[in-house]
Amino acid sequence: MTTHKKPDIRPANPHFSSGPCAKRPGWTPEVLKNAALGRSHRAKIGKEKLARAIALTREVLQVPEDYRIGIVPASDTGAVEMALWSLLGARGVDMLAWESFGAGWVTDVVKQLRLSDVRRIEADYGKLPDLSQVDFDRDVVFTWNGTTSGVRVPDGDFIPETRGGLTICDATSAAFAQRLDFRKLDVVTFSWQKVLGGEAAHGVLILSPRAVARLESHTPAWPLPKIFRLTKGGKLIEGIFRGETINTPSMLCVEDYLDALSWAQSVGGLDGLIARADANFAVIDRFVEKSGWLAHLAEDPATRSNTSVCLSIVDEAVTRLDAAAQAAFAKGMVARLEAEGAAYDIGHYRDAPPGLRIWAGATVETADLEALMPWLDWAFHEQKAALARP
């Protein structure tokens, strides 16, 4: 039986998790030394840091000046839930889903909010749904980049400039790595733990003027927990979008986010971040093309994510196995790579088809992905050899 030599070079940073993601190159705890620890987030220093985080977010992401940006609790999930619970119910809603998180928002709207006028426009893993079916006179909820499928919308061209409903976009694994068409989006959410490698538990909620108008004119039919309330007396609580957060944020995490934003500026802002992610994806894409045993889960090249790159193992010896055995094969590869210190946390998401998921966002160094590719080949052949043994 042919043996495959273990590679000589390991990635300098083997952190390829899809969230929380790798810290930015050169990060050390020293960057947190000026954090406002032990101080109230309502003190002048706390407010200034939160306001600066909002201002830098606007600058790096190129958010229009008339859009509000707020820091909210509970990561991207909290930001999406605030939008769903606060904005929906005024008209029918189209729910788009093609992976786990999009499917989760469908469940919330149908089973928790119990809206009756809901259309589900869905597709299997690896595909986008038929976007021509979407009715933009209704509210529309979708993910820009499917974190667990590696399938993204190529652009915002499918959304009309003039529309009756609101577009609510979960952009957590797209923001800072893909160009978001804000004029087509009324709500954008993300967590800074993704592309910028920040620390978990905080979300960002971006609202268009149209979304603000809805908040101020629409009262949901259900009670809103305090942590979701964005209005008071029928008016937007403007303080939330100046850094006066609903609940207590971690000033340590805020300091880390400020450092990540400063680094983003140093690499060329949004253009530089996108270029880094594109270069990282290209490394994986070239390897997949020549591997003979790997394929992109995203079928259409135009929809392939440059951050959460999801891969299927297509070697015949694996594809003839049942689903449980295929998942065990992929997990075996992942375990080998972790034991060697070559890659951490690159297994498929628990609800996704068996395979690998490699984060290629801007904080990952291209050289580390280049070093990882031979290790993927080694782990595959080691696992396949083990499969062949009686």
Residues 60-99 have pLDDT tens digits of: 999 999 999 999 999 999 999 999 999 999 999 999 999 9
Predicted confidence (pLDDT) at residue 382 exceeds the cutoff of 60: yes
What confidence tens digit (pLDDT) does each residue in 259-300 have? 999 999 999 999 999 999 999 999 999 999 999 999 999 999
Distance CA 346, CA 49 (A): 34
Domain edges within the chain: 29-266, 269-388
At residue 388, the pLDDT reads 82
What are the φ and ψ backbone dihedral angles of 193, each rounded to 5 degrees? Answer: -75, -10
45 vs 50: CA distance, rounded Å:
9
In which order are the strands placed within the sheet that holds 139-143? 68-73, 202-207, 187-191, 167-170, 139-143, 93-97, 118-122
Average pLDDT, the chain: 97
Where do the DSSP E strands lie in 285-327?
294-296, 308-313
pLDDT of residue 112: 96
Decide: pTM greater than 0.95: yes
What is the length of the chain? 390
Assess if CATH 3.90.1150.10 describes domain 269-388: yes
Contact of 380 with 343, CB cutoff 8 Å: no
What pLDDT digit, counting tens, does each position of 135-193 carry? 999 999 999 999 999 999 999 999 999 999 999 999 999 999 999 999 999 999 999 99
Residues 21-43: what's their mean pLDDT?
97
pLDDT of 390 strictly over 80: no
Mean pLDDT (whole number) for 10-26: 98
pLDDT of residue 103: 96
Average pLDDT over residues 372-376: 98
Cβ atoms of 50 and 249 closer than 8 Å: yes
Residue 1, pLDDT above cutoff 50: no
Question: What span, in angstroms and rounded, lies between the C-alpha atoms of 112 and 103?
Answer: 13
Predicted confidence (pLDDT) at residue 235 exceeds the cutoff of 90: yes
Q: What is the pLDDT of residues 148-159, one digit of tens each?
A: 999 999 999 999
Longest dimension (CA), the chain: 74
Tokens standing for residue 22:
């790798």
290-337 pLDDT, tens per residue? 999 999 999 999 999 999 999 999 999 999 999 999 999 999 999 999
Fold classification of 29-266 (topology level): Aspartate Aminotransferase; domain 2 (3.40.640)
Q: What local confidence, expressed as pLDDT, does residue 3 receive?
A: 58
Nearest residue to 360 (alpha-carbon basis) of 21, 20, 10: 21
Q: How many CB atoms lie within 10 A of CB 302?
A: 10
Q: Once rounded to an integer, what is the mean pLDDT over residues 180-209?
A: 97
Residue 69, both tokens: 């940006």
388, amino acid identity: A
Q: Stretch 107-131: mean pLDDT, rounded?
A: 97
pLDDT value, residue 341: 98
